[in-house]
């Protein structure tokens, strides 16, 4: 089911610890739009570029009554270092066992340099104030992604 999440579907609920160990749930964010972006690993080139893109457009995104949440399988300590190093103004969630990544259909078998492994496929979901998916971006290419997200928030 998660594989086929589409615009208009109810977003799978989640409850995950953030970089400070506080629990963040989708239910607690009602009345706001949510940009939920899944990324493979803290402080790697593509993930850093994407996070800094969200950082650099965070004012405009917040003006659209929207909160940005990054999700990876990294632990809280890794998230804290990543946030500090790049002055990220948004929350990063720890999906240590991949439960939420699986619910959103982004935990995939990947292949790098001939090695097969399981991990997060870069993906972004925009969830509207009612908890429904407003936009779905799979297999995200970092270049040009932030303007796509901003356009979807306005649309």
Write the CATH number for 7. 3.40.30.10
Give the pTM.
0.94
Q: What is the mean pLDDT of the chain?
A: 93
Q: Does residue 117 sit within a domain? A: yes
Per residue in 91-138, pLDDT tens?
999 999 999 999 999 999 988 789 998 999 999 999 999 999 999 999
Q: What is the pLDDT of residue 3?
A: 59
Q: Does residue 23 sit within a domain? A: no
- DSSP letters, 119-144, are EEPPEEEEE-TTSBEEEEE-S--STT
Q: What is the pLDDT of residue 20?
A: 97
Q: What is the pLDDT of residue 1?
A: 39
**Of residues 5, 11, 24, 47, which has the active-site annotation?**
47
For this structure, is 47 an active site residue? yes
Q: Does residue 19 sit within a domain? A: no
Per residue in 59-79, pLDDT tens?
999 999 999 999 999 999 999
- Collapse the DSSP code of 98 into the 3-class scheme (helix H, G, I; strand E, B; otherwise coil) and give the result: coil
Q: Does residue 83 sit within a domain? A: yes
The alpha carbon dihedral of 49, 26, 77, 58 has a sign of positive
Q: Does residue 107 sit within a domain? A: yes
Q: Does residue 56 sit within a domain? A: yes
Q: What is the pLDDT of residue 113?
A: 87
Give the chain's domain count.
Answer: 1
The CA distance from 86 to 25, in Å, is 25
Average pLDDT over residues 41-59: 95
Q: Does residue 82 sit within a domain? A: yes
Q: Does residue 43 sit within a domain? A: yes
Q: Which residue segment(s) compose the domain that 121 sits in?
A: 2-14+29-154
Q: What is the pLDDT of residue 8?
A: 94
Average pLDDT over residues 16-20: 97
- Whether the pLDDT of residue 2 is over 70: the answer is no
Q: How confident is the model at residue 48 (pLDDT cuts 50, 70, 90)?
A: very high
């Amino acid at each position: 089911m998660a594989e086929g999440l589409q615009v208009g579907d109810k977003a799978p609920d989640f409850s995950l610890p953030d970089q400070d160990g506080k629990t963040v749930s989708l239910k607690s964010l009602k009345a706001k739009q949510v940009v939920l972006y899944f990324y493979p690993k803290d402080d790697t080139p593509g993930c850093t570029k994407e996070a800094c893109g969200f950082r650099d457009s965070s004012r405009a995104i917040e003006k659209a009554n929207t909160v940005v949440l990054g999700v990876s399988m990294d632990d809280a300590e890794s998230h804290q270092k990543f946030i500090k190093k790049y002055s990220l103004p948004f929350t990063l969630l720890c999906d240590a066992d991949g439960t939420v990544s699986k619910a959103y259909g982004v935990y995939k078998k990947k292949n790098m340099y001939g090695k097969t492994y399981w991990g997060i496929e870069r993906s972004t979901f925009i969830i509207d104030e009612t908890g429904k998916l407003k936009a779905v971006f799979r297999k995200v290419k970092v270049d040009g992604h932030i303007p796509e997200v901003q356009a979807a928030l306005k649309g």
